[in-house]
Amino acid sequence: MEYAQGFKKQMNKRIHLLLCFLLQVNLVLSFPAIHCQDFSGVSLGTGDLHLFHLVTMAHIIQILLTSSTEENGMDQENTSSEEEVAVLTLYKFLCQCTGSALKEISSGWHLWKNLKAGIMPFLRCSALFFHYLNGVPAPSEMEVSGTNQFEHLCSYLSLPNNLTCLFQENSDIMNTLIESWCSNNEVKRYLEGKRHAISYARESNKLIDLPDDYSCLINQASNFSCPKSGGDKSRAPTLCLVCGTMLCSQSYCCQTELEGEDVGACTAHTYTCGSGVGIFLRVRECQVLFLAGKTKGCFYPPPYLDDYGETDQGLRRGNPLHLCKERFKKIQKLWQQHSITEEIGHAQEANQTLVGIDWQHL
């Protein structure tokens, strides 16, 4: 349940970034129908540049309105740069426009840091979009992920590094626009705490943290008793790697009915935690289980290796096992890229035995 809420929240965040980005794509693609424009070999044509600046400013306001800046002052430098002063001024203007419904933040340093982090996903999407639209190659520095990514992106997109400059160019028009954005009903409802909003910067979803030593998981599993049969030990304790719940798999006691069919605890769990897709660790077998829907599944090598760098599926050799971060990252990536179903498809093509297994009973 908790995960489902987390998932919804994440989706909301993506949708908001996406909406801003889609708005921009629509504007840019439909604009030439109204105006003729020339392309002069920069990554953005003149019309595109104005539209891009406008959407970027809207996104900046969005980020500042939802800033949940923790002011702890720990790593704050005392000297304020021009950018920090400018973003603080902008924030104060927002406070004024929203009738002081915004949290008081007095650190330009924190605001600027938050703004830079929050706008990066939008800048990355925009750079890709304009790259494919106008075919201007990205400078090679941009391909290495380093600390200067923000500056490189700004330069590729013809944005000033101190983003708040955008607002100063046409300050009369912009102030009117900001005022109208701030008096939007949904914005007001958010400020009054009547609806949720996305806050930037966003964090990506992660699978649960696994212990380094596999024996921790074995202990945890041997301590786990079936929640339905009054303290009996579960024969196939299975850990959901998405939310961390231990389940009693492969057993009649925990079967439930789902859409008129009897399914095991794992399949039932995937429908409340992951929209039918699941990633589990079968603890006694030391084996990862992928499930998709009621009929598809496969086994996958576990992220635990012995000192010789080998997995021990079925725990037959019994050597001490330790977490292999690389392997776990690979599983995490499959999940983040929505590739679990595809992975199951490949596995079933390669091994017909997998097609015959009643996955829904796990």
In the complex, the residues that contact ligand NAG under the rule CB under 6 A are 78, 82-83, 86, 160-162, 165, 219-220, 223, 299, 351, 353-354
Smaller CB distance to ligand NAG: residue 140 or 353? 353
Q: Quote the crossing angle between the two packed helices 82-97 and 171-182, to the nearest 10°.
A: 50
User: Nearest approach, Cβ of 69 to ligand NAG (angstroms)?
Assistant: 19
Could you tell me if 152 and 68 are in contact, meaning their C-beta atoms sit under 8 angstroms apart? no
Could you tell me if 236 and 348 are in contact, meaning their C-beta atoms sit under 8 angstroms apart? no
Smaller CB distance to ligand NAG: residue 191 or 292? 292
Q: Which residues make Cβ contacts (< 8 Å) with residue 157, sequence separation at least 6?
A: 43, 44, 52, 123, 126, 127, 130
> What is the C-alpha to C-alpha distance for residues 246 and 240, in angstroms, rounded to an integer?
6
> What is the C-alpha to C-alpha distance for residues 50 and 19, in angstroms, rounded to an integer?
18
Sheet strand arrangement including 287-292: 246-248, 237-240, 277-282, 287-292, 296-300
User: Nearest approach, Cβ of 56 to ligand NAG (angstroms)?
Assistant: 15
Smaller CB distance to ligand NAG: residue 161 or 272? 161
CA 311 vs. chain centroid, Å, equals 30
Smaller CB distance to ligand NAG: residue 217 or 242? 217
User: Nearest approach, Cβ of 44 to ligand NAG (angstroms)?
Assistant: 17
Could you tell me if 226 and 236 are in contact, meaning their C-beta atoms sit under 8 angstroms apart? no
Could you tell me if 111 and 91 are in contact, meaning their C-beta atoms sit under 8 angstroms apart? yes
User: Nearest approach, Cβ of 206 to ligand NAG (angstroms)?
Assistant: 22
User: Nearest approach, Cβ of 247 to ligand NAG (angstroms)?
Assistant: 16
Instruction: Give, in order, the Cα–Cα distances in Å from 113 to each of 79, 152, 315.
Output: 14, 17, 48
User: Nearest approach, Cβ of 83 to ligand NAG (angstroms)?
Assistant: 6
Smaller CB distance to ligand NAG: residue 109 or 129? 109
**Rounded CA Rg of the chain:** 26
Smaller CB distance to ligand NAG: residue 171 or 180? 171
Smaller CB distance to ligand NAG: residue 129 or 359? 359
CA 129 vs. chain centroid, Å, equals 20
The DSSP call for residue 213 is: B
For residue 84, the surrounding DSSP H or E stretch is helix 82-97
User: Nearest approach, Cβ of 166 to ligand NAG (angstroms)?
Assistant: 10
User: Nearest approach, Cβ of 297 to ligand NAG (angstroms)?
Assistant: 10
> Which of 278, 285, 286, 280 is closest to 322 using CA atoms?
286
> Which of 121, 274, 122, 290 is closest to 204 using CA atoms?
121
Smaller CB distance to ligand NAG: residue 16 or 152? 152
Smaller CB distance to ligand NAG: residue 138 or 357? 357
For residue 18, the surrounding DSSP H or E stretch is helix 2-30
User: Nearest approach, Cβ of 23 to ligand NAG (angstroms)?
Assistant: 26
